Amino acid sequence: MINDIKKVLFSQEQISELIENLGSEINRDYIGKKLLLVSVLKGSIVFMADLMRSITLPCEIDFMAVSSYGSGTSSSGAVKILKDLDNDLDGYDVLIVEDILDSGKTLNYILGILKSRNPNSIRICTLFDKPSRRQVNLHADYKGADVPDEFIVGYGLDFNEKYRNLPFVAVLKEHIYA
Protein backbone atom coordinates (compact mmCIF):
# COMPACT_ATOMS: atom_id res chain seq x y z
CA MET A 1 0.00 0.00 0.00
CA ILE A 2 2.76 2.45 0.88
CA ASN A 3 4.20 2.17 -2.64
CA ASP A 4 0.88 3.47 -4.01
CA ILE A 5 1.20 6.76 -2.09
CA LYS A 6 2.32 9.91 -3.91
CA LYS A 7 2.61 12.09 -0.77
CA VAL A 8 1.28 12.35 2.78
CA LEU A 9 -1.05 15.32 3.33
CA PHE A 10 -1.87 14.86 7.03
CA SER A 11 0.09 12.84 9.56
CA GLN A 12 -1.55 10.91 12.37
CA GLU A 13 -0.56 13.71 14.77
CA GLN A 14 -2.03 16.43 12.53
CA ILE A 15 -5.30 14.50 12.22
CA SER A 16 -5.50 14.15 16.01
CA GLU A 17 -5.07 17.90 16.41
CA LEU A 18 -7.82 18.63 13.86
CA ILE A 19 -10.18 16.30 15.72
CA GLU A 20 -9.40 17.80 19.13
CA ASN A 21 -10.23 21.25 17.72
CA LEU A 22 -13.49 19.99 16.23
CA GLY A 23 -14.41 18.30 19.52
CA SER A 24 -13.83 21.57 21.39
CA GLU A 25 -16.13 23.46 19.02
CA ILE A 26 -18.84 20.81 19.31
CA ASN A 27 -18.54 20.77 23.12
CA ARG A 28 -19.06 24.53 23.15
CA ASP A 29 -22.03 24.53 20.75
CA TYR A 30 -24.02 21.57 22.07
CA ILE A 31 -24.20 22.28 25.81
CA GLY A 32 -27.67 21.33 27.04
CA LYS A 33 -28.72 19.73 23.75
CA LYS A 34 -29.69 16.16 22.91
CA LEU A 35 -26.80 15.39 20.56
CA LEU A 36 -26.96 12.52 18.09
CA LEU A 37 -23.86 11.86 16.00
CA VAL A 38 -24.70 10.20 12.68
CA SER A 39 -21.82 8.49 10.94
CA VAL A 40 -22.07 7.99 7.21
CA LEU A 41 -20.49 4.59 6.65
CA LYS A 42 -18.02 3.33 5.71
CA GLY A 43 -15.52 6.14 5.31
CA SER A 44 -16.36 8.14 8.41
CA ILE A 45 -16.12 5.30 10.95
CA VAL A 46 -12.49 6.01 11.87
CA PHE A 47 -13.17 9.75 12.21
CA MET A 48 -16.40 9.12 14.15
CA ALA A 49 -14.63 6.90 16.68
CA ASP A 50 -11.99 9.52 17.41
CA LEU A 51 -14.39 12.48 17.29
CA MET A 52 -16.82 11.00 19.79
CA ARG A 53 -13.94 10.43 22.22
CA SER A 54 -13.09 14.14 21.98
CA ILE A 55 -16.66 15.14 22.87
CA THR A 56 -17.16 15.45 26.61
CA LEU A 57 -20.93 16.05 26.50
CA PRO A 58 -23.56 13.31 26.63
CA CYS A 59 -24.25 12.09 23.11
CA GLU A 60 -25.66 9.15 21.24
CA ILE A 61 -24.51 7.64 17.97
CA ASP A 62 -26.19 6.09 14.96
CA PHE A 63 -25.14 5.00 11.49
CA MET A 64 -26.26 5.32 7.89
CA ALA A 65 -24.77 3.54 4.94
CA VAL A 66 -25.28 4.91 1.46
CA SER A 67 -23.76 4.16 -1.89
CA SER A 68 -23.04 6.62 -4.67
CA TYR A 69 -19.46 6.06 -5.76
CA GLY A 70 -19.18 2.37 -6.66
CA SER A 71 -15.59 1.75 -7.68
CA GLY A 72 -15.11 5.09 -9.44
CA THR A 73 -13.48 8.29 -8.31
CA SER A 74 -16.47 10.63 -8.59
CA SER A 75 -20.07 10.51 -7.46
CA SER A 76 -22.52 8.78 -9.76
CA GLY A 77 -25.28 11.12 -8.55
CA ALA A 78 -27.57 8.17 -7.78
CA VAL A 79 -27.82 7.51 -4.04
CA LYS A 80 -28.94 4.23 -2.53
CA ILE A 81 -29.59 3.80 1.22
CA LEU A 82 -27.98 0.54 2.32
CA LYS A 83 -28.58 1.03 6.09
CA ASP A 84 -30.94 3.55 7.62
CA LEU A 85 -30.85 5.04 11.13
CA ASP A 86 -32.17 3.09 14.09
CA ASN A 87 -33.20 6.25 16.00
CA ASP A 88 -36.29 8.41 15.57
CA LEU A 89 -34.83 11.92 15.14
CA ASP A 90 -37.64 13.80 16.88
CA GLY A 91 -36.11 15.84 19.72
CA TYR A 92 -32.48 15.33 18.67
CA ASP A 93 -29.85 17.80 17.55
CA VAL A 94 -28.27 15.80 14.74
CA LEU A 95 -24.63 16.16 13.75
CA ILE A 96 -23.79 14.30 10.53
CA VAL A 97 -20.20 13.08 10.69
CA GLU A 98 -18.51 12.73 7.30
CA ASP A 99 -14.96 11.85 6.34
CA ILE A 100 -14.90 14.17 3.31
CA LEU A 101 -17.28 16.66 1.75
CA ASP A 102 -16.62 16.47 -1.98
CA SER A 103 -19.33 17.11 -4.61
CA GLY A 104 -21.95 17.34 -1.86
CA LYS A 105 -24.50 15.33 -3.86
CA THR A 106 -24.71 12.40 -1.47
CA LEU A 107 -24.79 14.53 1.66
CA ASN A 108 -27.41 16.84 0.15
CA TYR A 109 -29.60 13.79 -0.45
CA ILE A 110 -29.08 12.55 3.12
CA LEU A 111 -29.89 16.01 4.52
CA GLY A 112 -33.21 16.04 2.67
CA ILE A 113 -34.18 12.70 4.15
CA LEU A 114 -33.13 13.57 7.70
CA LYS A 115 -34.77 17.03 7.72
CA SER A 116 -38.11 15.38 6.95
CA ARG A 117 -37.80 13.41 10.22
CA ASN A 118 -38.20 16.52 12.39
CA PRO A 119 -34.96 16.81 14.36
CA ASN A 120 -34.42 19.97 16.42
CA SER A 121 -31.44 20.81 14.21
CA ILE A 122 -29.07 19.26 11.68
CA ARG A 123 -25.47 20.26 11.19
CA ILE A 124 -22.55 18.79 9.26
CA CYS A 125 -19.10 17.94 10.59
CA THR A 126 -16.48 16.84 8.07
CA LEU A 127 -12.86 16.06 8.66
CA PHE A 128 -11.91 17.14 5.15
CA ASP A 129 -13.53 19.56 2.73
CA LYS A 130 -12.87 19.70 -0.99
CA PRO A 131 -14.78 22.86 -1.99
CA SER A 132 -13.30 22.93 -5.49
CA ARG A 133 -15.42 19.87 -6.34
CA ARG A 134 -18.75 21.07 -4.90
CA GLN A 135 -21.72 20.62 -7.21
CA VAL A 136 -24.48 21.66 -4.80
CA ASN A 137 -24.86 24.62 -2.45
CA LEU A 138 -23.71 22.94 0.75
CA HIS A 139 -21.18 23.75 3.43
CA ALA A 140 -19.92 22.08 6.59
CA ASP A 141 -20.70 23.68 9.94
CA TYR A 142 -17.52 22.10 11.33
CA LYS A 143 -14.52 21.14 9.22
CA GLY A 144 -11.05 19.95 10.01
CA ALA A 145 -9.23 21.16 6.90
CA ASP A 146 -9.58 21.89 3.21
CA VAL A 147 -7.89 19.45 0.85
CA PRO A 148 -6.70 19.89 -2.73
CA ASP A 149 -8.51 18.42 -5.71
CA GLU A 150 -6.53 15.19 -5.62
CA PHE A 151 -7.60 11.64 -4.84
CA ILE A 152 -6.86 11.06 -1.15
CA VAL A 153 -6.90 7.87 0.90
CA GLY A 154 -6.25 6.75 4.45
CA TYR A 155 -7.88 7.28 7.82
CA GLY A 156 -11.12 5.74 6.52
CA LEU A 157 -10.91 7.14 3.00
CA ASP A 158 -10.60 4.45 0.36
CA PHE A 159 -10.17 3.52 -3.23
CA ASN A 160 -12.00 0.29 -4.08
CA GLU A 161 -12.23 -0.53 -0.35
CA LYS A 162 -8.45 -0.36 0.08
CA TYR A 163 -6.23 2.05 2.05
CA ARG A 164 -8.85 2.83 4.77
CA ASN A 165 -6.52 1.43 7.44
CA LEU A 166 -3.65 3.85 6.78
CA PRO A 167 -3.17 5.99 9.91
CA PHE A 168 -2.51 9.13 7.82
CA VAL A 169 -4.15 10.82 4.83
CA ALA A 170 -2.26 10.76 1.55
CA VAL A 171 -2.58 11.43 -2.15
CA LEU A 172 -2.85 8.24 -4.17
CA LYS A 173 -0.63 7.88 -7.22
CA GLU A 174 -2.71 8.62 -10.30
CA HIS A 175 -1.89 5.42 -12.17
CA ILE A 176 -3.57 3.43 -9.36
CA TYR A 177 -7.05 4.88 -10.01
CA ALA A 178 -6.79 6.15 -13.61
Q: Give the phi and the psi of residue 165 in degrees, each rounded to 5.
A: -85, 0
Residue 30 C-beta-side C-alpha neighbours within 13 Å: 27
- Distance in Å from the first CA to the final CA of the chain: 16
Whether 129 and 176 have beta carbons less than 8 Å apart is answered as no
84 catalytic per annotation: no
Question: What residues contact 49, with CB distance under 8 A and at least 6 apart?
Answer: none
Residue 130 C-beta-side C-alpha neighbours within 13 Å: 16
Catalytic residue among 50, 93, 102, 129: 102
Is 146 in a helix, a strand, or coil? strand
- Catalytic residue IDs: 102
